[in-house]
């Protein structure tokens, strides 16, 4: 990496990850985000999301575009030469995280479910918030001041917070129990695992 880039993101195609995990879903790719201080974040994504992944990763990593370089080359970002020996060490790091396979399978299932139900997969997976519906304007009738006897009025029952209509029924039940589902798509490797990459 050059002096300005502090994060190297290696985009690994699903076919390459299948060499490590035989049950890896066909259309799920992996972004390995390596930082200078030795952290590694693994982010799964679908092959057809590849165009949106750089901006998503900038948000996840809380980084500017000049702080990140990609392998292979991504338009608008710097890149670097990635040696075969670096690739082998990176794949060993991927293989050391067995939870990554479960993450990829969950991501694939939830994404496919959202597509089949006609929902926005990014909203269902928690990658983007749903668009808020515009509140219709309701004119308020003018208040006429009248002196009336002060009679205590019963309090109106408080309306329940509306759940998003995009949530499927099984998620709606979970949300009603004050447990909002979140689908993690970031895995952090243990600090000692990256010592071999240094």
Q: So what's the pLDDT on residue 136? A: 53
Q: So what's the pLDDT on residue 37? A: 86
Mean pLDDT of the chain: 76
List pLDDT tens digits, range 23-41: 999 999 999 999 988 888 9
Phi-psi region of 126 (alpha: psi -120 to 50; beta: other; left: phi over 0): left
State yes or no: pLDDT of 170 exceeds 70. Answer: no
Q: How far is CA 99 from CA 24, 91, 103, 186, in A?
A: 12, 15, 6, 11
What is the mean predicted confidence (pLDDT) over 100-106?
94
Q: So what's the pLDDT on residue 178? A: 43
Best CA proximity match to 124, nearest among 55, 46, 197, 198: 46
Task: Find out whether 40 and 30 touch, Cβ atoms under 8 Å.
Answer: no
Q: So what's the pLDDT on residue 81? A: 87
User: What proportion of the chain, given as a percentage, has pLDDT over 70?
Assistant: 62
Which comes out higher in pLDDT, residue 172 or 98? 98
Q: Where are the alpha helices (DSSP H) in 18-161?
A: 53-61, 84-95, 99-116, 121-124
State yes or no: pLDDT of 4 exceeds 80. Answer: no
Q: So what's the pLDDT on residue 117? A: 85
Q: So what's the pLDDT on residue 162? A: 57
Residues in the chain: 198
What is the mean predicted confidence (pLDDT) over 152-157?
56
Q: So what's the pLDDT on residue 126? A: 74
List pLDDT tens digits, range 38-82: 888 999 999 999 999 999 999 989 999 999 999 999 998 999 888
Confidence tier at 183 by pLDDT (50, 70, 90): very low
Strands, E assignment, 36-79? 40-46, 68-71, 78-79
């Amino acid at each position: 990496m050059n002096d300005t880039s502090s994060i190297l993101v290696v985009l690994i195609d699903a076919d390459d990850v299948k060499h490590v995990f035989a049950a890896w879903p066909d259309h799920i790719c992996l972004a390995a985000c390596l930082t200078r201080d030795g952290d590694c974040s693994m982010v799964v994504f679908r092959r057809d999301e590849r165009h949106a992944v750089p901006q998503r990763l900038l948000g996840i990593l809380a980084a500017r575009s000049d702080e990140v370089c990609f392998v292979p080359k991504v338009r608008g970002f710097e890149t670097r030469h990635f040696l075969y020996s670096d690739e082998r060490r990176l794949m060993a790091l991927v293989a050391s995280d067995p939870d990554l396979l479960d993450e990829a399978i969950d991501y694939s299932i939830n994404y496919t479910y959202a597509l089949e139900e006609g929902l926005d997969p990014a909203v269902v997976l928690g990658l983007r918030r749903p668009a808020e519906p515009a509140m219709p304007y309701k004119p308020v009738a003018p208040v006429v001041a009248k002196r009336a006897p002060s009679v205590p009025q019963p309090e109106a029952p408080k309306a329940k917070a509306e759940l998003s209509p995009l949530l499927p029924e099984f998620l709606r039940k979970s949300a009603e129990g004050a447990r909002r589902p979140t689908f993690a798509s970031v895995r952090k490797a243990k600090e000692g695992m990256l010592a071999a990459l240094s």
